[in-house]
Amino acid sequence: MRFNEIDLFGVYVAPISLMMIGAWLILIPLRRLADGFGLLRQVWHPALFWFAVYMMSLSAIVLIAAR
């Protein structure tokens, strides 16, 4: 597993930063979907829940990219 820096308009960016942005973009529709179903009423600590969902999506992205 080897990740190389990404050249973004002359600036080298670590690949994990782009993966973090991707995980955040996945989280946005998930939050709206959960709000529509009223999921947060069933969750004890909403901020901790969303952090866990973010970490799971980030982990999935990293594992897929490392393939």
Instruction: Round to whole Å and give the CA distance between 25 and 10.
Output: 24
Residue 43 lies in a domain: yes
Residue 26 lies in a domain: yes
pTM of the model: 0.87
Q: How many structural domains are present in the chain? A: 1
pLDDT digits (tens, 9 = 90+) for 28-47: 999 999 999 999 999 999 99
- Full domain range(s) for residue 11: 6-66
Residue 15 lies in a domain: yes
Residue 1 lies in a domain: no
pLDDT digits (tens, 9 = 90+) for 48-57: 999 999 999 9
Residue 36 lies in a domain: yes
pLDDT digits (tens, 9 = 90+) for 16-26: 999 999 999 99
Which residue is listed with tokens 């004890």?
Answer: 44
Q: Please, which residues have CB within 8 angstroms of residue 43's CB and are 6 or more apart in sequence?
A: 49
pLDDT computed for residue 22 by the predictor: 97
Residue 32 lies in a domain: yes
Residue 10 lies in a domain: yes
pLDDT computed for residue 1 by the predictor: 58
